[in-house]
Amino acid sequence: MSSGTAAEIPAAAAGACGRARTSGASAGFEFSRPLDLAATLRIVAHGGGDPTVRLAGSRAWLSFRTASGPVTLLLVQSGGTLRPPARVSAQAWGPGAAEALQSVPALLGEFDHWTGFDDPAFMATLPPALQEARRRHPGLRLPSTGRIIESLVPVVLEQKVTQMEAYHAWRYLVQRFGRPAPGPAPAGLMTAPDAAGWRKVPSWDWHRAGVDSHRSRTILGACSAASGLERLAAQPLGPGVSAKLQSVPGIGPWSAAEILQRTHGSPDDVSVGDFHLAAYVGAALTGKRTDDAGMLALLEPWRGHRQRVVRLIGLTGFRKQAFGPRLSPQDHRRH
């Protein structure tokens, strides 16, 4: 194909809707651009132990909720990581199977266009290490899940705590209040609660998960407005979507950026306010740590692609020296 879009292979998808609730549904997709399935979907998983995601090379298991109900989605890539075509077979089980198959192209970043970024004139503005990272990872894409609450809850759990704390809270809450993923899913794969389910989590379980009252209130408030928030997924990416997310008490610029990176595949939203990111970007680009203002100044020449630059920095293998203060886990159960 030369159109730059994914082609669904009709024979593989025949009868998908009719089989969705019983034996499952399946479809095949062929992409005319490279695709690195693991690198693309890594941002969707919240930690290596995320109970809703399993990533292993060219294979990915995901469980999530659609308007029709929960679903388990299996994606298997065959070729195309470095050069097209990239082929992906998809199988889905559960009430949301048909919807899940329709979401595959967006989920795999098919509408994330790197044409301007890959233009030789633009590439020449990047440091050599980033140019090399792009050459080595032409299949990196920014995924769009289109599911707001699914991304919002774990992002809020990550506010102002260590990743270790946040990932523990996410695992604990999903394993306790989620449901086993439908279909022949791997052992332990879970579907997270829906908005109504999150609102039923009792206060003592938030505390057992190590979640303070500020974060639990933010999640509960967002879930109370879930229907309106989910409509944001259909709106084109822009300042208005971010502003509406930030109208939810407890959702600030950092959280909005983290959500939009997943729901809309935002190529430009940067996680301002992250404890480590500014120092990391500064050290990678200049050899010196910086703050949020310094990070934004460094990334300004690449406005429109700033999140792509951040993702590529991560793929260079760069590691900054850890001289800064460390965030220590806090026990919110005593507060």
Structure tokens at 138: 């032409």
Question: What is the pLDDT at residue 319?
Answer: 83
Nearest to 254 by CA among 148, 318, 159, 326: 159
Residues 249-300 have pLDDT tens digits of 999 999 999 999 999 999 999 999 998 999 999 999 999 999 999 999 999 9
Residue predicted with more confidence, 159 or 4: 159
Residue 22 has pLDDT above 70, yes or no: no
Place of tokens 């996410």: 170
Q: pLDDT (tens digit, 9 = 90+) per residue, 117-167?
A: 999 999 999 999 999 999 999 999 999 999 999 999 999 999 999 999 999
Q: Mind giving me the DSSP string for 36-56?
A: -HHHHHGGGSSSTT-TTEEEE
Residue ranges in 137-183 assigned as alpha helix (H)? 148-157, 163-177
β-strand pairing of 179-180 with 25-31:
unpaired
| CA–CA separation, 91 and 169 (whole Å) | 29
Q: If we measure between CA atoms, which residue out of 173, 208, 165, 217 comes closest to residue 192?
A: 173
34 with 134: CB under 8 angstroms?
Answer: no
Q: Is residue 178 over pLDDT 70?
A: yes
Domain assignments of the chain as residue spans, ordered by start: 6-119
Predicted confidence band at 8 (pLDDT cuts at 50, 70, 90)? Answer: low
What is the average pLDDT across 156-182?
Answer: 97
CATH class assigned to 6-119: alpha beta
Q: Specify the pLDDT at position 5.
A: 52
Interacting residues of 297 by C-beta distance below 8 A, sequence separation 6+: none
CA dist 16 and 39 (Å) reads 28
**Measured distance CA(172)–CA(178) in Å, rounded:** 10
pLDDT of 14 > 60? The answer is no
Q: Give φ, ψ of 77 to 5 degrees.
A: -95, 140
- Residue 321, pLDDT score: 62
Run of H or E including 76: strand 69-78
At 137, which amino acid appears?
H
According to the model, what pLDDT value does residue 122 have? 98
Strand-pairing partners, residue 93, are 72
pLDDT band for position 323 (50/70/90)?
Answer: very low
**H runs (alpha helix) in the chain:** 10-13, 16-19, 37-41, 97-102, 104-107, 115-118, 120-123, 128-136, 148-157, 163-177, 195-199, 203-208, 213-224, 226-230, 239-246, 253-263, 277-286, 292-299, 306-315
* Integer Cα distance of 267 and 265 in angstroms: 6
d(CA 267, CA 247): 22
Residue partners of 303: CB distance under 8 A and separation at least 6: 268
Q: How confident is the model at residue 327 (pLDDT cuts 50, 70, 90)?
A: very low
